[in-house]
Structure formats: C-alpha cells, structure tokens
Structure 1
Amino acid sequence: MDEPAGEVRDDRRQSETVLGVFPAQPRSRRPQPQRTLYGALDLGTNNCRLLIARPAAQGFRVVDAFSRIVRLGQGLTSGGRISPAAMQRTLSALEVCAAKLQRRGVTRLRAVATEACRRAENGRDFLEAARVRSGLELEVIDAEEEASLALYGCAPLLDRSKRHAAIIDIGGGSTEIVWLSHDTEASEAAQLPDSPRVRAWHSVPLGVVDLAERFGGHEVGRSTYDAMVAEVMAEMRPFVERYGLPEWASRGALQMIGTSGTVTTLTGVHMELPRYDRTRVDGAYLSLELVGRLSEQVRAMGYRARVAHPCIGRDRADLVVAGCAILEAFWRLCPAEGLTVADRGLREGLLYLMMREDGAWSAQADTGP
C-alpha cells in the first residue's frame, strides 16, 4: 500500500498508540512474549515501512516506526528490472531499518517484499544486495498472502452490521481486493480464525507507479484521468461481477475499506490537516459522494499545488491522481454507501500473526496486565 506525503516518516508519536487486532485464543509457543519486541518490515513498489511493537491488551503498542518513499518499482513497467538508482535508494532505507531494529533490540522480525520484487528480472540480485548491505533477509510473498495480511491489519475496522466487506489495497505495482463476509455459508476460500470468512481475493496488476508513468502524473486532464479509470475498471470488472459485489453494494450490505496512501491522503485533504495525523485519519469514514469530490479536487489542483499541500507533498504529488483513478474505478463498479479509511495494512497483519503464534494474548490472560 502506498504512503501519505513525506519522504520519511519516523513518527515517535506512535509510541503511545495501541492498535487493536482480532480477538484470539492462540497457542503459546514461545516464552514470555510480553517481553519480546517485534518488528514488521513491508517493502513495496513505492514505500519501505517498518513498525516495531510489543503486545498490549488485545493488540499491540507501537514503540517505533519508519516510512520512506523509495520508488523501488520506478521504470519497472518499461524495463522489467529494478534500476540502479531505485536499488540504491531502497538499500539506504533498509540500512536505516536495520539500525532501528538493532538499536531497539528486536528479536522477532518478519520482513517481506511484494510486487516489485515479484516482477523484476533482477529481483534476486536486489534481495542479495539487501542481505549484504543491511543484514536483512527479505521474503518475497505472493499476492494471495499480501491480500490476507491486509485483511489481518484492517480487521479492527470491520463493521459486523454489514454482511460483506471489500478491502481495496492500492499499491505501487498492484492493487489487492479482498472480499469477505460475516455469515457462515460454505466457501472454498480459507477461513481465518476468529474472523470473518474470506470469500475471494484478486490482485489487479495495476498500481500508482506504473499508471503514473504511463499516463503522466503532473498535469492530468479529465480525458486522461477517465482513460485511467476505464483501464482499471476493465481489470476489476470480471472479479467484482463474478462474486456479485455490485449487488451487495446496491443493497447496502457491503462495507468498503480503503487501505493505502491514496485514501489517507484524500482524508487529510478533506480534514484540511496542517500536517498528516494518523490518529485522526485511521478509521475515518467518507461518503462516496465526498470521495468523488475529493478525487476531482486533487486531480484538478495541478502538480505544483499538490506539491505544496501538507497532506500530499512532492513525493506523492505525481502518484496520488493515479491512486484516485484506481479508487474511483472500484467504487463505480461497487457503489457502496461510503469508504472506511485504514492507515494500517501489511505491517499490522505481520505483527498480529507473530504475536498470535507466540501466544502473546494468552500470556496476558495468564499473568495479568
């Protein structure tokens, strides 16, 4: 998922943030998980992001965070390879992450890479360079696991009064859609413990980086924007129609959750924040009419105005319009009542799974707060 404005976000204010997760009854496999510091690193096509956290009551407390826009996938669509410049930018960010992990004393880490490393001809060379430079062993996950992790990360925002939900995770190189439901009908898809049932998932091979490179991201005219929307709709339509998502949306039974820098940026613009504030954005709700107005506002403001906006900035100014086109394509196909905004995703999902595996919340029940 792509990131809100700012080249580097090293937000120590998050040290006071407790993020909720699924209720769980895990097995205890490791001793004293409450004393363990966990790290989750997500290297995407556009961003390198790290969270360091320890378990808290039915969730976890973030003690350190880092995010940098690295554009690892820049030029990948046309050349098929990670460029030397993109590689160096990303390796520098990974060195910062490695230093934080060491300084904090993290003992449980999972570091994953997504679409850019899946697609690049020289992806293995990059992973080896990352290991040598930073000491980090990056695991390339497939699109199915990426979608599943996004679900785990967004679980606390699910509205169980809606029978169904669709999570759309707009990334730099791809967009993941997860369809899930709260009923107990049989499904061929995997069922997550203590969670709604995952019905189906789909990875759309379009993200903000490749769309912006092909269509342009500076001054985007209405006809160009509509062409982006049409291309994304063509990719999404078979999936959403196969599973009847438009019908559920029209009946008011589908919750739409957006997890990406696009939706958090639009929310920051709507709130007129002088500086991006995760605590205000995460969990916000936008009507679909408002999402449409905000998307058009961002498209029409022009590149310089987007650079100057405190919730967009130079590093996202040429990408956010493409993200708006992806989001608009989805809500045109599935016009739900509104959009739940999630500033959370893969990293939170990784943390939850590690802590559940270690019996973190069972340990709390046994030993008390």
Structure 2
Amino acid sequence: MSHAERTDTFAAVDLGSNSFHLLVARREHGELRVIDRIKEMVRLGGGLDAEGRLDPVVQERAFACLARFGQRLRGIPADNLRAVGTQTFRRMRNANAFLMIAETALGCSIDIIAGREEARLIYLGVTQGVPGHDQRRLVIDIGGGSTELVIGEGLQPLEMESLQYGCVSLTRQYFGEGKLSRKRWKKAVRSVKADLQELRLRYLDTGWETAIGSSGTIKAVEEICRRQGWVEKGITADALFLLRDRLLAFKRIDKVDLPGLSERRHPVIAGGLAILQACFQVLEIDKLKVSPYALREGVLHDLLGRLEHRDPRDTTVEAFMARYSVDREQVDRVKRAALTACDKIADGMFLRPVHRELLSWASDLHETGLCVSHSQYHHHSGYLVAHSDMPGFTRQEQGFLAALVRYHRRPV
C-alpha cells in the first residue's frame, strides 16, 4: 500500500455483543468506497454472567478475532482508525483488564460508548444509504445486548433511546433452555413492551414518515419472510405474526429449520424476533424497510467528520455552554492559560493531541456548576459532565473530562 493509499484509507471496528465487524474504506473523489468487510460471530454477550464476568473461553475467542482484525489494520494510520465497544463492554466487570489485552491484539484503542451514543452513530450510519435527507425516519437496531431506537430528520437525531434488551440477552433470559412456547413468548414480548411504553407517547408524538431497521437480526427476519413468500422487500406486521407461529411450532430452538436462517443467527433468532414484534406493536409500525448500514458505517463517517473538523463533540460542548449560561469571556481566559501550560509540558509528559482537546473542552465546561450553586461549584460541574448525555464522547473521554472539571480547584 502506497503512502497516499494509507492516508486515504479508514477503518471502523464494531465490537458488538453478538458479532465483531471490521469495515475498511478508501476516500476517492471526496467519497468513501468500501474495500473490505469482515464479520465474525464472537457471541461476547453470551459469555457474560449475571455478575459481569466474562467466560475465559469466550474471552480467548474474542482475543483471537481481534488479532485477526489487527493483521488487516496494519499499515492504516492510527488517526484513521476507530474501534467501539457496546453493551457487553458497558456491563463487563473486568473491562479495563480485558481492554488492555484486546487493544494490544487489535493494535488500536477501543472506545466504550454509551447506549445513546451508540444510537446516534447507528442513525448516522443508516442515513448514509437513505435517499431524501429531509425525511423524518424511525431507525431500529437490534443488537446482541441492546436495542437502539432513533427518530431523526436528515442527519439530525431528534429522539434517541437504548433498551437493555438484545437478541442474545433476551433469548438467554426467556428461551435459555432452548424451549419455545407461547407462554415463554408472551413473557418475552411483555417485558420488552414494558420498557417501550416509557417512550411510546413521545415517539408517536414526534412521528416519522419511514421506519427503517438495521442489524443482523432484522436482515435475517426479512430474508426468512421473503423466502416464505410473505413479503417481497422489507418486513410487515402480518409477516411477523406468521413467522412467530412458524417459529413456535418447532417447540425447541435446536429444531428450528427455516429457509434463510443461517446457522450463526439460529441460536438467537427467538429473542430478536420477540423484540422486533414488541417494537411493531407498541410503536404501531405497519412496515419496516431494511438497511444494510449500521453502527460501523456511522463510526466511519463520524471519524471522517472529526478529521475534517466536523466534530460532534464541539457541538455538544457548545450546547452545554449555552444551556448553563457559561461566562464565555472567563472561559476563554482560562482556556488560553490552560492550553499555554499544556503546550509547554506536552513533550515531557508524553501528551497526545486528544489530551489537549479534552483540556480545551474542560476549560469550556468548568463553570457549568455555577447554575446550581457558587459553593462547591466544581463538584456540581463535575457531576453535570459525568452524568449528562454527551453525544460524540466515549465513556472514557466523558469520565476524563468530568475528572478535569471536578478537580480544577482545591486539593485533589
């Protein structure tokens, strides 16, 4: 690979609870052209117990996959790579220990993203392949450990939620012994509906013109329905009822034999289908279009936006400052002093550009707590930063930012 090819090559790694994905693309004439896709079914979420401990066998399977991904990523500049971990990483008790080995195997850092940030990136990815940018749309993504639901208009999300159910976790909870029955099915659907009720009115009031689904579960459901002759394209509410009845007739998951259902998707289809049917019923969906794009495409386009100075983190910080009526003149004075000091010690402290960025944003946000009280305002500022939704920031970045804001005054 030539130097020009390396600098114009970008990669996104999506470490989901069910599958790991690698997407490599090259920038040509101002657009990204995908040159490689790799997917491995790791089932990371299936190896996590109720205490957040990861099964050693699953852990080794994940490391082996990441090592293979790392070989493909060699030669691509570090600034052109981004890897994100989702729900299983968020629940993992020994996440830091796992990350140390995982990042070494992969050859780049892994960002653990919050559920709403995952939803934002999924929406960004799906919109890359949807015509009519001014159209309002609902996007549903059923992952292994969580389900994201986003309403947006054009490239802008309007409503974002992340449910703590995915095809792996729901299958394990309600169909864990491999048994299929109407009683188990009703319990599974009812539990998802209970969570969806909290957002139902808000989402229906916001409304949408088109509903779009992404993820392996939804693509598998569409393929099964198409093979059965129930749909030509997309998924309908009627087709879901037919598929539910066909699935439950097998009595056991290991007996399920449906054209279009792959061996890899087979063990988790029951939970995924139950989530999808609950979404259809609560949100009154008649038909769902299916997108081939998802989180990894969103990560890739978000990365490119950052490199082209269209960083969503800047937008988030700007909104924070406006919401809490920050004194911008004071902020600018503090920022200049902080960045000047940072530049003087950067080499000796082995600081990277991202550390300077975080210091700059911390300077912008350090007085947000004054909206609560002048007394101990740094505590309030730190709390607001730590516990607010901050689109664009990873959990690690948000934690680091909160620490800078919290400890900018008084003894540590």
Settle same-fold status: TM greater than 0.5.
Answer: yes
User: Which protein has the bigger helix share?
Assistant: 2
Give secondary structure in 1 for the equivalent of 2:284: coil
State the Cα distance separating 1:331 from its structure 2 match: 0.6
Match for residue 76 of structure 2 among 103, 106, 109: 106
State the Cα distance separating 1:43 from its structure 2 match: 0.3
Distance in 2 between the 1:221 and 1:114 partners? 30
Match for residue 227 of structure 1 among 187, 193, 202: 187
Gaps of 5+ in 1: 1-30, 182-194, 274-280, 361-369
Partner of 1:21 in structure 2?
Answer: none
Partner of 1:121 in structure 2?
Answer: 93
Match for residue 324 of structure 1 among 265, 273, 294: 273
Residue pair 1:162, 1:254 contacting (<8 A) in 2 also: no
Distance in 2 between the 1:295 and 1:164 partners? 29
Q: Deviations over 1:213-245 (max 9, x none)?
A: 121153311121111000000011111223435
Gaps of 5+ in 2: 310-412
Give secondary structure in 2 for the equivalent of 1:318: helix
Partner of 2:238 in structure 1?
Answer: 289
Residue pair 1:34, 1:55 contacting (<8 A) in 2 also: no
Give the aligned residue type for 1:261: G
Give secondary structure in 2 for the equivalent of 1:319: helix
- Correspondence 1:347 to 2:319: no
State the Cα distance separating 1:341 from its structure 2 match: 0.6
Give secondary structure in 1 for the equivalent of 2:46: coil
Partner of 1:263 in structure 2?
Answer: 218
TM-score, normalization by structure 2: 0.66
State the Cα distance separating 1:58 from its structure 2 match: 6.5
State the Cα distance separating 1:167 from its structure 2 match: 1.0
How many residues are treated as equivalent by the alignment?
301
Distance in 1 between the 2:121 and 2:106 partners? 24
Change (3 A) 1:113 1:292: same
Q: Which moved more, 1:147-156 or 1:347-356?
A: 347-356
Distance in 1 between the 2:101 and 2:302 partners? 28
Higher relative contact order (CA closer than 8 Å, sequence separation 6+) = 1
Change (3 A) 1:36 1:162: closer
Distance in 2 between the 1:60 and 1:271 partners? 31
Distance in 1 between the 2:147 and 2:107 partners? 29
Distance in 2 between the 1:93 and 1:309 partners? 28
Partner of 1:92 in structure 2?
Answer: 64
Give the aligned residue type for 2:194: A
- Correspondence 1:149 to 2:131: no
Match for residue 284 of structure 2 among 324, 335, 351: 335
Percentage of identical aligned residues: 29
State the Cα distance separating 1:106 from its structure 2 match: 2.2
Partner of 2:202 in structure 1?
Answer: 242
Give secondary structure in 2 for the equivalent of 1:52: strand
Residue pair 2:70, 2:105 contacting (<8 A) in 1 also: no
1:196-235 equivalent positions in 2, closer than 5 A: 196-216=155-175, 218-235=178-195
Give the aligned residue type for 1:266: V
CA RMSD across the alignment: 2.8
Give the aligned residue type for 1:256: A
Distance in 2 between the 1:314 and 1:86 partners? 18
